[in-house]
Amino acid sequence: MGRENVLAAIKKRAKIKLIVGILFTILGAFGTLVMILAITGDNYESGMATGLIFMVTLLIAGIITLVLGIKDKVNPAGASVFKKNQKLLEMADELYANILYQDKDIIFSDKIVANATDILSMTYTNEVIVGYIREQRTNGILTLKCLHLDTINGQMEFNLMKKKQEEIDYLARTVCSICPFIRFGFTTENSAYLEHMRNMYDEAHKNDR
């Protein structure tokens, strides 16, 4: 089930690429034709060359996006996302094999933490180093509340805006119980701990690059 969800997500993205690619290609081709006719006609004006360059760029971008969409649609297992994470399918299987916590934003198993709204974004629980609740206010109004996780080589965030405080507290406890190396809270000490762990990781994997 895990890898099927990943491949389905890739196909969904491929469909979006196809739609965008077709749209850009049509607009770019039409715009390029119009600009060429205008430049070669009697009504040439300064700035038309820049317009032509823009339309040609749009056409090329459309064709590239269209090709990538077709490629991912036909062969989702060969998508570029696997170049960044070659273990993605294996991780997805591990995620769905033993789900310990799941809501509309986040999924945890004993080994994997994943973004429920973007299943292609996941990491191992033992790679989560620091976590905290991040809030942002504008003119005193809460506009952002999320669970922020710093991993060994990146970060993940999960929306908490519609969750009750008891749900947030339970989620925080669950994260701390599942991730073996996590320290919870936005503190100077935890920032130093994150930097230390990342330096250790980089040193251990410097020959892999």
Question: Dihedral of CA 13/77/114/186: which sign?
Answer: negative
- pTM comes to 0.75
Phi, psi of 186 (to 5 degrees): -95, 95
φ/ψ bin of 139: left (φ > 0), alpha (ψ from -120 to 50), beta (otherwise):
left
Q: Bridge-partner residues for 123, per DSSP?
A: 113
Residue range 43-94, pLDDT digits in tens? 666 677 788 889 999 999 999 999 999 998 888 888 888 888 888 889 999 9
Average pLDDT for 177-181: 93
Non-local (6+) Cβ contacts of 71 within 8 A are 14, 78, 79
Question: In the prediction, which pLDDT does 207 show?
Answer: 65
